[in-house]
Amino acid sequence: MSLDKQQLRIFYKKLRAGLSDEDLEKKSLQILDNLIVFLKERKDLEHFHLFFPISKQREINTFLIKEFLEARKNTIYTSRVEADSLALQTLQLQPNTKFYLDKWGIPVPKDYLLVSNEMIQVVFVPLLAYDQKGNRIGFGKGYYDLFLSSLDSSVCKIGLSLFSAELHIPSELHDIPLDFCITPENILTF
């Protein structure tokens, strides 16, 4: 039996909610370990767009990835939602920036440069679920689909997931699949 997108969202939100803080941190560290392996073979990648975790959604602790990328002297970007829009503005993080939570609970940097997205080489894509072809399900607002469609097709799209792949997720014409997904156990290529 195949679940539709809304059923999958509900299922994976419940699955995440069942993780203890310790399990979430352990899985986040395992994802970081696999990312380190992934990047050892890709030293030319220097410009990374990173989402930051909404704690009430039990997202991966991407601050661990931020610290690793900063230690490598990489340039890190994130986004914030433009007022009354689905468009995301690209923010280049400044060293040692502090964060505040916006109205959705998303950590937003206090110190940043508003920049174009043309330098970005890698986007870490938030998701609830993904399938064996790289199709993904987010929270259903469409922010990342619109953002990914604005980028050069050569930009590497990497999902970060706490769980393994579904066999199949229904996709639509505007959906942009992942190139890779990094989980606590694997590095998947699509």
Annotated binding-site residue? 14: no
Annotated binding-site residue? 82: no
The whole-number pLDDT of residue 1 equals 46
Annotated binding-site residue? 18: no
Annotated binding-site residue? 137: yes
Residues 6+ apart with CB under 8 A from 18: none
Annotated binding-site residue? 94: no
The whole-number pLDDT of residue 2 equals 62
Residue 70 has pLDDT above 60, yes or no: yes
The whole-number pLDDT of residue 181 equals 98
pTM: 0.93
Give tens-digit pLDDT for 40-56.
999 999 999 999 999 99
Annotated binding-site residue? 143: yes
Residue 90 has pLDDT above 50, yes or no: yes
Q: Work out the average pLDDT over 104-125.
A: 95
The whole-number pLDDT of residue 87 equals 78
Fold of 5-189: Rossmann fold (3.40.50)
Annotated binding-site residue? 9: yes
Residue 137 has pLDDT above 50, yes or no: yes
Q: Cα separation of 52 and 105, whole Å?
A: 10
Residue 169 has pLDDT above 70, yes or no: yes
Annotated binding-site residue? 138: yes
The whole-number pLDDT of residue 142 equals 72
Annotated binding-site residue? 59: yes
- 8 Å CB contact between 28 and 60: yes
Q: Cα separation of 128 and 120, whole Å?
A: 23
Annotated binding-site residue? 12: no
